[in-house]
């Protein structure tokens, strides 16, 4: 008989690493949950192609993988610093916001302690229902290794934590295979393929666009850079204290308890904490760069505000973008050697992965503890991390509540495990009587 895992986690980014920690800390000497995580990258890496030298965290280090759930955990960022011998040096920095390089190292350090529980280099491509007695009891999780082999595993529960997929604007979709057009998620890797680029466009006005602009313009022998945005201005992300309360763990309860309309209004009201905004200090740095260019009477860098990309054409000499300047209603066409799309992410990839289960989990609604609601004849638990913004709030795609959320999912999984074990015990006692 094929082995059945208590849990398969799809993806081993921060969300599922935090879940592995929560499960490890919750077992209190009891038999551990048989959990296996499947990650498509060859080893742990947190947004590796956006690990820019100057980038730092946009969240306090105290919102790490464990502290808010269990401040005494050995997986806190503070304990990581202690083990690396940098705790007092970090204190001297007087900062809540480590560099992204350091946080990636912290996350990798934590992930490394669950090496046996993760299969790297495998991409899950679908999940099938496994029936017994006419009802779905298990899930058949199918993944593909880098060399094309298909693996199949059975699980009682699934936690899908696969992050976002690059959002490519309609006009650029036909150029998906053109290496001169790429998304910010692969920026460092793909930009390295264009060392000779003399003119580069960045499309977008959020944090990634702003970081990429600063990175590109400051490179030795930097190209001409057009920073193209629909907005009239880059806006600062609001991280002021009262507004920041929307990222508190208890705000999730408030959000979830509201009806659809209020939830949508809340997302809209606080969107400027996370979407199409950038850190104020970064905006100030960009302003200074343009100011210095004015002093030097240069023209290498342009910020094209109120500009729409109206047409995209690939030619042998470059990518031609037709831009509409909405201020003066004038179109112009500019040739670029490379175009970076800092156009965000979409978060509905789980629906493709779970498509074979659609008859049971149809509308993909989740309960308060992130479990997909299912028909009565469907028994496995499927939990989503990072795809519940509509119901659980803006913190869902960020790190803010990760440790608390994984504590909640961990409790739900352990409760299901103990129910299943006592049901099995009752059944065997009934047979003995
Ligand atoms: C550049 C950047 C900087 C950010 N900085 C911050 C920040 O400072 N603070 C903050 O709160 N948030 C930040 N975020 C938001 C980010 O979503 C979270 O930090 C965090 O990465 C969420 O973790 P996750 O595990 O849910 O998703 P991810 O980190 O995206 O991890 C998902 C993992 O699943 C794997 N995967 C995907 N599909 C499959 C599949 N089919 N099979 C197997 N594996 C799969 C991926 O390879 C990946 O490793 C940032 C995002 C970006 C892009």
Tell how far the Cα of 141 is from the centroid of ligand 1, in angstroms. Answer: 21
Q: What is the pLDDT of residue 29?
A: 66
CA distance 87 to 391: 38
Closest CA to 21 of 79, 74, 100, 98: 74
- Is 344's C-beta closer than 6 angstroms to any atom of ligand 1? no
Query: Hey, which of 162, 247, 282 would you mutate to test ligand 1's pocket, going by the most ligand atoms within 8 Å of its Cβ?
Result: 162
Tell how far the Cα of 221 is from the centroid of ligand 1, in angstroms. Answer: 32
3-state helix, strand, coil in the chain (%, to 5): 40, 25, 35
Rounded to a whole number of angstroms, the distance between the first and last alpha carbons of the chain is 28
CA distance 417 to 433: 25
CA distance 405 to 253: 11
| Ligand 1 nearest-atom number relative to CA 56 | 8
CATH superfamily of 167-237+274-341: FAD/NAD(P)-binding domain (3.50.50.60)
Query: What is the phi/psi pair of residue 255, to 5°?
Result: -60, -50
- For residue 373, the 8-state DSSP code is P
From first to last of its 433 residues, the chain has per-residue pLDDT tens of 889 999 999 999 999 999 999 999 998 667 789 999 999 999 999 999 999 999 999 999 999 999 999 999 999 999 999 999 999 999 999 999 999 999 999 999 999 999 999 999 999 999 999 999 999 999 999 999 999 999 999 999 999 999 999 999 999 999 999 999 999 999 999 999 999 999 999 999 999 999 999 999 999 999 999 999 999 999 999 999 999 999 999 999 999 999 999 999 999 999 999 999 999 999 999 999 999 999 999 999 999 999 999 999 999 999 999 999 999 999 999 999 999 999 999 999 999 999 999 999 989 999 999 999 999 999 999 999 999 999 999 999 999 999 999 999 999 999 988 887 777 777 677 666 5
- Is 124's C-beta closer than 6 angstroms to any atom of ligand 1? yes
CA distance 158 to 299: 53
Closest CA to 339 of 167, 206, 204: 204
- Is 14's C-beta closer than 6 angstroms to any atom of ligand 1? yes
CA distance 144 to 141: 10
Q: What is the pLDDT of residue 432?
A: 62
One fold for 4-164+347-432 and 167-237+274-341: yes
- Is 399's C-beta closer than 6 angstroms to any atom of ligand 1? yes
- Give all strands (DSSP E) within 186-260, no chain letters: 199-203, 224-228, 235-236
- Is 59's C-beta closer than 6 angstroms to any atom of ligand 1? yes
Tokens of 105: 């190292």
Q: What is the pLDDT of residue 433?
A: 55
Tell how far the Cα of 14 is from the centroid of ligand 1, in angstroms. Answer: 7
CA distance 342 to 275: 12
CA distance 23 to 71: 15
Tokens of 16: 């599922």
Query: What is the phi/psi pair of residue 324, to 5°?
Result: -105, 120
- Helix (H), strand (E) at residue 107: helix 100-111
Q: For the chain, give the number of residues.
A: 433
Other CB atoms within 10 Å distance of the CB of residue 344: 20
Parse the chain into domains and list their residue ranges: 4-164+347-432, 167-237+274-341
Residue 70 vs residues 91, 115, 404: alpha-carbon distances, Å: 21, 22, 9
Alpha helix (H) residue ranges in 358-433? 358-361, 389-392, 402-432
- What is the complex's ipTM, to 2 decimals? 0.99
CATH 3.50.50.60 for domain 4-164+347-432: yes
Q: What is the pLDDT of residue 100?
A: 98
- Is 186's C-beta closer than 6 angstroms to any atom of ligand 1? no
Closest C-alpha residue for ligand 1 atom 2:
47
């Amino acid at each position: 008989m094929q082995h059945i895992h208590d849990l398969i986690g799809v993806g081993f980014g921060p969300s599922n690493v935090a879940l592995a920690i929560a499960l490890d800390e919750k077992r209190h000497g009891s038999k551990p949950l048989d959990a296996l995580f499947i990650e498509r990258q060859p080893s742990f890496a947190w947004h590796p192609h956006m690990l820019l030298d100057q980038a730092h965290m946009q969240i306090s280090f105290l919102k790490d993988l464990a502290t808010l759930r269990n401040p005494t955990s050995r997986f806190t960022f503070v304990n990581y610093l202690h083990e690396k011998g940098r705790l007092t040096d970090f204190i001297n920095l007087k900062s809540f916001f480590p560099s992204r390089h350091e946080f990636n190292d912290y996350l990798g350090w934590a992930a490394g302690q669950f090496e046996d529980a993760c299969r790297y280099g495998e991409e899950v491509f679908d999940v099938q229902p496994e029936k017994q007695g006419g009802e779905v009891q298990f899930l058949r999780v199918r993944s593909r290794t880098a060399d094309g082999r298909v693996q199949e595993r059975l699980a009682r529960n699934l936690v899908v934590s696969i992050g976002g997929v690059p959002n490519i604007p309609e006009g650029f979709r036909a150029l998906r295979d053109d290496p001169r057009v790429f998304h910010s998620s692969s920026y460092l890797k793909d930009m390295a393929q264009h060392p000779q680029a003399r003119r580069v466009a960045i499309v977008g006005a959020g944090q990634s666009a702003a970081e990429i602009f600063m990175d590109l313009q400051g490179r030795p022998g930097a190209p001409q850079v057009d920073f193209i945005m629909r907005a009239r201005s880059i806006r600062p992300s609001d991280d002021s204290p009262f507004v920041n309360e929307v990222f508190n763990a208890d705000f999730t309860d408030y959000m979830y308890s509201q009806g659809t309309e209020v939830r949508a209004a809340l997302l809209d009201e606080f969107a400027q904490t996370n979407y199409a905004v950038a850190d104020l200090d970064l905006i100030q740095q960009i302003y200074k760069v343009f100011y210095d260019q004015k002093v030097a009477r240069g023209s290498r860098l342009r910020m094209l505000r109120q500009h729409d990309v109206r047409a995209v054409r690939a030619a042998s000499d470059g990518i031609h973008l037709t831009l509409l300047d909405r201020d003066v209603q004038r179109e112009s066409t500019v040739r670029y050697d490379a175009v970076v799309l800092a156009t965000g992410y979409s978060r509905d990839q789980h629906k493709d992965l779970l498509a074979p289960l659609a008859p049971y989990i149809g509308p993909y609604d989740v309960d308060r503890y992130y479990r997909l609601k299912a028909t009565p004849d469907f028994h496995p638990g499927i939990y989503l991390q990072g795809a519940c913004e509509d119901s659980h709030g803006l913190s869902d795609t960020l790190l803010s509540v990760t440790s608390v959320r994984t504590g909640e999912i961990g409790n739900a999984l352990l409760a299901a495990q103990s129910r299943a074990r006592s049901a099995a015990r009752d059944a065997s006692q009934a047979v003995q009587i």
